[in-house]
Structure 1
Amino acid sequence: MTTNAAPFATELTLALGCRDPIISAGMGGPARAELAAAVSKAGGFGLLGMVREPPELIEREIAAVRAVTDRPFGVNLIPSATESGLFAAELDACLAARVPALCFFWDVVPEAIRRAKDAGAIVLYQVGSVEDALAAAKAGADVIIAQGIEAGGHVRGRTGILTLLPEVVRHVRVPVVASGGFATGGGLIAALALGASGIHCGTLFLATHESFAHAYHKQRILDAKAGDTVYTDLFAINWPPHSPVRVLANCVTQEAAEHWFGNHPDTLPREVIAHDDGRPIYKFSTDSPLRSTVGDHEKMALFAGESAALVNTGTSAAEVIERLVGEALEASNRLRLAMQPAWGHRHHGSATSNC
């Protein structure tokens, strides 16, 4: 495959300035500079996951990306899950650094979109419903990421992506990106066929070499089979109430099998199970294990989407991008061949006798 070719140029690649219509999710924790830079350098669009991070760290991570590549990238922030003062400082840091793009998630906050747009940044907004897609587009978002219930991490979507995606595409006029369950080139072709301009992948990139996720988390993803994820609000500490997540089943989900829903962050016990950079991590918190985390990794939130069953080998981010594009080309060729009529079924005209 020619690495400089752009066989899948779309409205998304035009808007973001990347070669391939593949976005790596801004996963809080795992999506640090090493991963975001590797994805962008390889032709995709990397997002830094800077959720509830101090502005100083955000500044360092942005600088670290730019030290590796001059390709465009973005920063993912979550307004409604971040204390207002901290969010304002996070956004200030991003805008002062003139990041090319900001990605927001969860509740639609028009003021966040306005501030980013006024500073000249492209705005992506991840949503889980047609209503939120319309609200984000109306507020000025340039790209909508439609998240299906198959997705890992915090899940805004309540319906499957195959239903949600065409509905969102039908209602908004900006490029739409499909999120939730995508880990193959065939999935990229399916998303494009349903009207998307690209795909947004988290689980797939969480397992790469450049991800800042702990090796234990990566291996659990590589070992996962279909049906190994759990949709629950059990991991609730640090987030607003009633915020479901998708994780790999572990000892915590097994112990609480009768209580996967109805958990409130204020009533869950504060049992310290790990530490990260000196900070205590509680059982039932939304922290996932990172390279810097020490403690009982099995009891932490092992975020993963249903696509974990399709992620079987730990590779570099560049290899992931190359594989996705190669598989997508193969899938599109198979479709073209499948749609050609078989020789035995071609129309041969009338066989009526003249006698």
Structure 2
Amino acid sequence: MTAGSGSLRTPLCDRLGCDYPVILAGMGGVARAELAAAVANAGGFPTLGMVREAPSLIRSEIEAYRRLSDRPFAVNLIPAATDPGLLHRQIEICLSMEVAIFSFFWDVLPEAIARVKAAGALVLHQVGTLPAAREAEAAGADVLIAQGQDAGGHVHGRSPTFDLLRSVLDTTALPVVASGGIGSGKALARALTLGAQGVQCGTAFLATEESFAHDYHKQRIVTARGADTVLTDGFVLNWPMGSAVRVLRNSVTEAFGPTLMGHDPERIAREVIAYDGPTPRLRQSTDSPLRTTSGALEQMPLYCGTGADDIDAIVPAAQRLSVLCAEARAQLVSDRHSPPAGRS
């Protein structure tokens, strides 16, 4: 892509087999076959969020996706937050079903990257810090996703998205994707102008018709603004201690007061507040409300990035992608015809 040309196509599009450089984030529980296929068929690149899911569900979601779309896709796994035995089985089922692209996140586990690379797969690795970016590249990652603290859900670093993007671009020749707080075409255009080969969006696609998130979660995003989010490690049950998430403020975060960080999972009461079918969900767990969830939804983590400022309706995923790309094209053309900014 030539910055300012109005074109959105980048080399990453050719590598992933998509039309637009917009990746659906592998949101656990939310990015299932229906949403992934909707993004893919509209020209974006889809990721199935299979974080710590049973191999049987991974199989059924891949099968469902392939009934809905014949376009390439990735499966998102989080090796560092998954029991090693389960991770082995997850990768095994993916490889047996000829998954060609994997998306990893959190701490870099070189052995997981090596295993899928040995099978010929492409690896996208999301990182939150510059050291992690270097580790992922050294371990064999093909694409780096630079996730800033503006992102909703689990956040590994503490740098603003575009600050981290610049730092990673300065240290690698790999394709780099920007992630975190990107809910508008202007943000997509800015990322491309800075040198990113694409963006990854979570919140923007969570609030769509095809998302597997509960309608309550979607509506809260629509009425929220970025300032309504907080970064906390208080929703930590079933994840490593200190794992921070960006969520919408609710009664649980308000009860934390100023102590948003420093929560010890061993000192949190295991209180059931909701159910997914027969499966109980605990207060302060990382489980967000899904279509199948009933109970105290307001007390659950409502993942949301600062890009909520740009989300004002629940729409089909294809429409969200189309608007995002149209805005980005318009911004790039506008930038092209604007006089250069003066030096400060």
TM-score band, normalised by shorter chain: over 0.9
User: Where in structure 2 are the equivalents of 1:177-192 lying within 5 Å?
Assistant: 177-192=177-192
Partner of 1:105: 105
Supply the distance in 1 between the matched residues of 2:246 and 2:340 (Cα, whole angstroms). Answer: 41
- Partner amino acid, structure 2, of 1:133: A
Residue by residue over 1:139-182, the C-alpha shift from the partner in whole angstroms, topping out at 9 and shown as x without a partner, is 11110000001011000121111211011011111100000010
- The residue that corresponds to 1:118 in the other structure is 118
Provide the residue aligned with 1:350 in structure 2: none
**Is the counterpart of residue 173 in structure 1 residue 163 in structure 2?**
no
Q: Hey, what's the Cα distance between the residues in 2 that align with 1:246 and 1:138?
A: 29
The offset of 1:337, in angstroms, is 2.0
Rounded Cα–Cα distance in structure 1 between residues aligned with 2:24 and 2:230:
22
Alignment of 1:57-72 (within 5 A): 57-72=57-72
1:14 matches 2:14: yes
Q: Deviations over 1:295-345 (max 9, x none)?
A: 01000000111111211111111111111111111101111221389xxxx
Q: What is the one-letter code of the residue matched to 1:69?
A: S
| Aligned counterpart, 1:84 | 84
- Give how far 1:24 is off: 0.6
Question: Matched residues in 1 for 2:258 and 2:166: separation?
Answer: 35
Amino acid at match of 1:176: V
Retained in 1: the 8 A contact 2:226–2:305?
Answer: no
Indicate the residue corresponding to 1:209 in structure 2. 209
Higher mean displacement: 290-299 or 156-165: 156-165
Question: How far is the alpha carbon of 1:264 from its aligned partner?
Answer: 1.5
Q: What CA deviation, in whole Å up to 9, does each residue of 1:28-86 have, x standing for no partner? A: 01111001111111100110000111001000100111111111111000001111100
Match of 2:228 in 1: 228
Alignment of 1:1-355 (within 5 A): 7-339=7-339
**Residue 45 of structure 1: SS of its match in structure 2?**
coil
More contact order relative to length (CA 8 Å, sep ≥ 6): 2
The structural deviation recorded for 1:7 is 3.3
User: What stretches of structure 2 of length at least 5 have no aligned partner?
Assistant: 1-5
Q: Which has the larger radius of gyration?
A: 1
What is the Cα deviation at residue 277 of structure 1? 2.0
Structure 1 outlier segments of 4+, above 3 Å: none
CA distance in 2, matches of 1:281, 1:128: 28
User: CA separation in 2, counterparts of 1:265 and 1:340?
Assistant: 52
Give the number of equivalent residue pairs: 336
1: CA distance, partners of 2:89 / 2:35: 24
CA distance in 2, matches of 1:48, 1:32: 5
Please state how far the C-alpha of 1:8 moved relative to its aligned partner. 1.4
Offset of residue 226 of structure 1: 3.3
Is this contact kept in 1: 2:224–2:309, CA < 8 A?
yes
Q: Does the CA contact (< 8 Å) of 2:162 and 2:178 recur in 1? A: no
Letter in 2 for 1:24: L
Matched residue type, 2:127: V
- Normalized against structure 1, the TM-score is what? 0.93
Q: Structure 1 stretches of 5 or more lacking a match?
A: 1-5, 342-355
TM-score (norm 2): 0.96
